[in-house]
Amino acid sequence: MEPFAPAHGGVVRMYACGLTVYARGHIGNFRTFVALDLLRRTLRHAAGFEMRQIVNFTDVDDKTIRASRAADESLRAYTDRFIAAFHEDADTLGIESAEAYPRATDEENLRAMVDMVAALEARGHAYRSDGSVYFRIATDADYGRLARLDHEGILPGARIDSDQYAKQDARDFVLWKASAPGEPAWDFGVGPGRPGWHIECSAMALRLLGEPPIDIHAGGVDLIFPHHENEISQSEGATGAPFARFWVHVEHLLLDKGDKMSKSEGNILTVSDILERGHRASALRYVLLSTHYRKQLRFTWDSLAQAEEALTRLMDCLARLDGVTATGSHPAIESRAAAAREAFGQMLQSDLNAPGALGVVFELVRDVHAAIDAGEVGAGDAAVLRAAFDYFDSVLGVIALRRAEEDAPPLPVEEIERLIAERRDARRRRDYAAADRIRADLEARGIALEDSAAGTRWKRA
């Protein structure tokens, strides 16, 4: 453990590897993005720093080229679709927007990559072969320090062109790939071709975040090798300065049987898959937050049900606070809320201990229920407690997400009102079976009806 503060002023410069946009992101990908959202929110709302966060899209590599060809679409049009899907899913999960979302094929980024390749050539770290440019691993005496590679296993002079590596496949890697028939290509000074996967992130990070070292570089644990390892070598080889001060890696999401969720294995679940099964995005976000980011998360359908129960307890507590009508305040309540805020902050400062932070929240929920039952909460206390829960949620982001879900009915309001009118007409005709069918249909779709002398009102079930 060591304290964190940004290197320059109060602005945290943070780069996170985003999706390779050849398919829609799955919830394993979003486990990483939700964890990094927790980091971002902690730095902003708990630590008080400003953020300059970059999340990239890899929109040109072996996978995107193959997939766009198979779909008979241009690379740009094909990848646009999955970039839009990412933003839709991120909004659904309440992920705060980064300050920039660069894509590798934007001209300013391609030019930055070419400039970095040229710098590596000038410093003796790169060489040309068959129209491509490669990074010479032998010029980096510290290669493998992030992944803790055994140098004896590195094959001198061997190289790899593919963007997909075998495990521990440490060989010279391609910086700029010579153009192949039918592949997209650009020529900004090192010959016609396209960037290798690794150079993309290094160039975009330094172009958009400025002089190295950047404060934080983050991504999934599967990116440590080769991607982040190679980023370090080429970035430091080109600049002569350390690349990143802190590295943050989020562990895998596993399925119930222990398999890693992976597009290549075909065993993925997307955010929309979860919603189509009737679960809420707030429950999914809760599940993705509830295990420490450096521990593997085992996803089950039961875990979503348990998250739903936890969120129901939390929202019921807030509803009880809204119903407090007694006047006055109690010093013990203010003291308890302050202690909870302090404990919550300490959990976050301990390597983003989200499970511990959630434990603090639910200890306060229990105490609030007990205090209301004992008649020890006044309107002034309720305001103090609501402010504490608002502070918790500025980092966790689950309460705001649940409130937004409850404000948006699961089907159009016009349809709900039409069915209520049909039910009212059925009851006037004494067709109670038809009226009951309409009520049951609405309940099955998430809408509960309440009849009173004033008429019928609806709410989310």
pLDDT at 288 over 70: yes
Per-chain mean pLDDT for the chain = 93
pLDDT computed for residue 156 by the predictor: 67
Residue in 31, 105, 97, 33 with CA at minimum distance from that of residue 65: 105
* 420 residue type, one letter: I
Q: Is 262's pLDDT higher than 90? A: no
Q: What is the pLDDT of residue 190?
A: 92
* pLDDT value of position 90: 98
Given a cut of 90, whether residue 57 has pLDDT beyond it is yes
Q: What is the pLDDT of residue 168?
A: 63
More confident residue, 300 or 150: 300
Query: Which residues fall within 8 angstroms of residue 433, CB to CB, at 6 or more apart?
Result: none
- Binning pLDDT at 50, 70 and 90, where does residue 154 land? confident
Output DSSP code: residue 219: E
Q: Tell which wins on pLDDT, 252 or 447.
A: 252
Placement of tokens 């407690």 in the chain = 385
What per-residue confidence (pLDDT) applies to 266? 73
Q: How confident is the model at residue 460 (pLDDT cuts 50, 70, 90)?
A: confident
The mean pLDDT of 201-229, rounded to a whole number, is: 97
Residue 156: both structure tokens together: 């001198």
pLDDT tens-digit map of 162-195? 777 666 678 899 999 998 898 999 999 999 999 9
Beta-carbon neighbour count of residue 440 at 10 Å?
10
In 3D space, the residue among 23, 93, 50, 109 whose CA is nearest the CA of residue 284 turns out to be 93
Residue 116 has what pLDDT?
98
Residue 101: pLDDT over 90: yes
As a whole number, mean pLDDT of residues 274-297 equals: 96
pLDDT tens, 340-356? 999 999 999 999 999 99
Higher pLDDT, 262 or 291: 291
Residue spans of alpha helices (H) in 247-330: 271-276, 281-289, 301-322
Angle at 353 between CA 347 and CA 354, to 5 degrees: 105
Q: What is the pTM of this model?
A: 0.89
What whole-number distance in Å separates Cα of residue 50 and Cα of residue 322?
33
